[in-house]
Amino acid sequence: MTYTAPIPRFLDIEYCESGDGIFPTAMAWSLEDGRMKVVVIEPDEDWLPEEGDSVEVDVRYLMEQGVPLVELARALHEDLPNETVYVDGLDPDDELLEMIFDAVGMEQPFETAPVAELLTGVARSDIEDARQTLIFDEGLDPRLPETGVYALLLLAQQAGLVERGEQTDDL
């Protein structure tokens, strides 16, 4: 299915905590037509914990499979220029985005806002309850960033902010 009008943009970042702080490990964001991009993030060397510190993520996997930060920053510049991008407001998204753009010496091309600013008239706790219910009902893994973005897209659709168009064969 395709969407008939530009829709709000959403973003979710998963991250790892260590004794040294936090760093982003994966990110998903939506495009104006409802499609989504998902990446595993190659961490900056400065973000990694000291030798011997334990983290709950496979750093070697991130280093081998992750998208280099400069490529991620360029993709975000291309996909989200001058946009307001909505986040669930549960994670330190602004801090994580700042880490990414600071590491590559680029300005962040968009601003973030909590989804509560988009879904006005709905209490933040009700938004989070509805998001959790959607994740559960859809049988999704809440640890994945694409799950967070998908749930926010569904909430926007339920609020009438996203209209489904006719299904087409166009790619």
* Residue-wise pLDDT tens digits, 60-81: 999 999 999 999 999 999 999 9
CA distance 62 to 41: 6
Q: Does some domain include residue 125?
A: yes
Mean pLDDT of 121-145: 92
Query: What range defines the domain where residue 62 resides?
Result: 9-158
| pLDDT for position 81 | 96
Q: In this model, does residue 4 exceed pLDDT 60?
A: no
Q: Does some domain include residue 38?
A: yes
Q: Does some domain include residue 147?
A: yes
The more confident residue out of 73 and 19 is 73
Q: Average pLDDT, whole number, for the chain? A: 89
Mean pLDDT of 120-143: 92
Q: Does some domain include residue 1?
A: no
Total structural domains within the chain: 1
Q: Record the pTM.
A: 0.88
Q: What is the CATH number of the domain that holds 49?
A: 3.30.420.10
